[in-house]
């Protein structure tokens, strides 16, 4: 990051800046485009808006905007859920939109100090807000989660969520609890969600996941014992699938779940 402040006023914007615009937690999209040039932005969208610098390179910043204005009437565009961008092929663009969403969500929930209730102010040089009364600093928070692909020979344990009606079968996942290691979370979450015991847990890769602000730690684990018994509040259904007969699974181009599945299938088929 250059010396440009993380938080901006409208008078500090430049004609070279680009914008990712949110209104009431939805992103402004027109014909699958969601990174806007200054010349495309109606100035009314920027009035009394939160403006947070995402990236600042070669004199052209990408700015996250939380506008108070009605987008549909101003820009001839649509307000869409961030998840709607998962269907796009541009993973780098989704990463930018996801980062914008996370920062705006953090700032919106930290306008007041959690200790004394006084309004917070922007830190002059760091990505943080400060309570001037009690000097408490608040930085963007990331919530660590695990996501695990359970394997049994050539079979994969894949589940469909009770919470999200996406139609995909995916890996099991859950938030880490205080005092847990990621490996302990894997064991607990698999047991809680499908009543299966696992072993030989190995880390594969991670992914930032902006729903709302998670770091997904991806693992593969081997089946140890037990019969599938889904927890209905979490899992609508779960089954073993042979790698040659997989159901509808997430794309590896956008989801670490898809990458874990693709990684395992490629590894098995090369044996």
Q: Where are the domains of the chain?
A: 10-109, 143-269
How many other β-carbons are positioned within 10 Å of the β-carbon of residue 194?
A: 22
Report the alpha-carbon distance of residue 10 to residue 214 in Å, rounded.
Answer: 30
Question: What pLDDT sits at residue 89?
Answer: 62
- 119-136 pLDDT tens trace: 999 998 899 999 999 999
179: left (phi over 0), alpha (psi -120 to 50) or beta: left
Across the chain, mean pLDDT equals 92
Is the CATH number of domain 143-269 3.90.79.10? yes
For the whole model, what pTM was predicted? 0.87
- 159-188 pLDDT tens trace: 999 887 778 999 999 999 999 999 999 999
Would you state the structure tokens that stand for residue 184, as one six-digit string?
Answer: 């302990």
Q: Which of 76, 79, 81 is nearest to 94 (CA)?
A: 81
Residue with tokens 């693992």, as numbered in its chain: 219
Average pLDDT for 65-77: 83
The answer to whether 10-109 and 143-269 have equal CATH topology is yes
Q: Is the pLDDT of residue 190 over 80?
A: yes
Question: What pLDDT sits at residue 3?
Answer: 54
Q: Is the pLDDT of residue 53 over 50?
A: yes
Are the C-beta atoms of 257 and 269 separated by less than 8 Å? no
Report the alpha-carbon distance of residue 170 to residue 160 in Å, rounded.
Answer: 6
Inter-CA distances, 165 with 130, 229, 233, Å: 39, 20, 13
Question: What pLDDT sits at residue 145?
Answer: 97
Q: Is the peptide bond before 242 cis (omega within 30 degrees of 0)?
A: no
Q: Is the pLDDT of residue 60 over 50?
A: yes
> Where do the H-state alpha helices sit in 38-181?
71-75, 91-108
CATH of domain 10-109: 3.90.79.20
């Amino acid at each position: 990051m250059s010396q440009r402040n993380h938080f901006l006023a409208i008078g500090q914007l430049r004609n070279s800046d680009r914008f990712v615009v949110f209104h009431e937690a939805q992103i402004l999209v027109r014909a699958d485009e969601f990174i806007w040039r200054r010349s495309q932005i109606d100035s009314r969208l920027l009035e009394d808006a939160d403006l947070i610098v995402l990236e600042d390179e070669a004199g052209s910043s990408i700015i996250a905007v939380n506008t108070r204005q009605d987008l549909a009437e101003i820009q001839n565009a649509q307000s869409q859920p961030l998840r709607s961008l998962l269907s796009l092929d541009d993973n780098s663009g989704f990463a930018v939109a996801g980062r914008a969403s996370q920062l705006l969500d953090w700032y919106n929930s930290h306008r007041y100090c959690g200790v004394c209730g006084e309004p917070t102010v922007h830190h002059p040089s760091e990505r943080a807000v400060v309570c001037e009364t009690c000097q408490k600093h608040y930085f963007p928070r990331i919530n660590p989660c695990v996501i695990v692909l359970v394997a049994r020979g050539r079979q994969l344990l894949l589940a469909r969520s009770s919470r999200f009606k996406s139609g995909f079968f995916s890996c099991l996942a859950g938030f880490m609890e205080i005092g847990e290691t990621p490996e302990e979370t894997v064991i607990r979450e698999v047991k809680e969600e499908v009543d299966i015991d696992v072993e030989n847990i190995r880390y594969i890769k991670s992914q930032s996941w902006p729903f709302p602000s998670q770091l997904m730690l991806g693992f593969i684990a081997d089946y140890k014992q037990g019969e599938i018994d889904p927890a209905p509040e979490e899992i609508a259904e779960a089954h073993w699938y042979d790698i040659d007969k997989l159901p509808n699974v997430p794309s590896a181009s956008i989801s670490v779940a898809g990458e874990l599945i693709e990684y395992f299938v490629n590894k098995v088929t090369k044996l």
